[in-house]
Amino acid sequence: MSTEERVALVTGGSGGIGRAVVERLAADGIAVAVHYAGHRDRAEQVVDAITGSGGRALAVGGDVADEVAMAAAFDAVVDAFGGLDVVVNTAGIMLLSPIATLDLADLDRMHRTNVRGTFVVSQLAANRLRRGGALVNVSTTVTRTQLPTYGAYAASKAAVEGMTLILARELRGRDITVNAVAPGPTATPLFLDGKDEATVRALAQASPLERLGTPADAAEMIAFLAGPGRWVNGQVLFVNGGFA
């Protein structure tokens, strides 16, 4: 599938998996909007790197759970590039605790970003994507592995999977694919924060490939769904090296 003149918006695109996705899509010749919530400088660094290499990119900001702010971000992308073909929703937070002792304020924070934020972005994508477009949300392998302390986070991502699969059916006749990618343990600041070396080593060895995933591993699958993977629709794809 030709990616000529295709345009993508990547939420959380200034770091981690989001940045890897931005760089991968830009390498495919797609114009990319790098979304940020609180790190405009990092987003602009990514934009500068892409435009410096001859690509097309811009930075757009906004709280993913704020429908007004995100509508303005979508408008900015369409105004700059003439349309929108791909939305990748990598923005998310992970706060770990046993369910019995979880601070409910942390539950609300994750719900706002991971659930409401994904819903807001998915709703906007459903109304803005052109024919032949693709929406890719991000879940997690922990929805299947049931690791202790991940209960609230896994619950938020199970909600992401549910809305993704239903939206794919609701967009019948629009020629728009809707899928979710569920990475396993991936070497990002979000995953590594608060984990000691022994824990990280054990999680790496749990995969038959005996390593952690990289942001590029997830980005490769997302780029496939954003471009040539037109017959994959309404699916959750696990990118975890056989971890689960």
Whole-number pLDDT of residue 3: 46
* Residue reference for tokens 């696990």: 238
In a domain, residue 103? The reply is yes
- The mean pLDDT of 64-72, rounded to a whole number, is 98
Q: How confident is the model at residue 206 (pLDDT cuts 50, 70, 90)?
A: confident
Contact 86, 130 (CB under 8 A): no
Rounded CA gap, 61 and 59, in Å?
A: 7
Q: What is the CATH number of the domain that holds 233?
A: 3.40.50.720
Whole-number pLDDT of residue 146: 87
Rounded CA gap, 108 and 103, in Å?
A: 9
Rounded CA gap, 88 and 84, in Å?
A: 11
Q: Is the pLDDT of residue 12 over 80?
A: yes
Count of structural domains, the chain? 1
Domain that holds residue 38: 7-239
In a domain, residue 197? The reply is yes
Q: Is the pLDDT of residue 4 over 50?
A: yes
Amino acid in position 134: A
Residues 76-117 have pLDDT tens digits of 999 999 999 999 999 999 999 999 999 999 999 999 999 999
CA angle, residues 192, 109, 160, in degrees to nearest 5: 80
In a domain, residue 2? The reply is no
Whole-number pLDDT of residue 103: 97
Contact 73, 9 (CB under 8 A): yes
Catalytic residue numbers, as ranges? 153
In a domain, residue 167? The reply is yes
Residues 147-181 have pLDDT tens digits of 899 999 999 999 999 999 999 999 999 999 999 99
* Residue reference for tokens 């392998």: 141
Please give the C-alpha separations between residue 33 and each of 44, 47, 237, in angstroms, as whole numbers.
10, 8, 24
In a domain, residue 45? The reply is yes
Rounded CA gap, 169 and 189, in Å?
A: 34
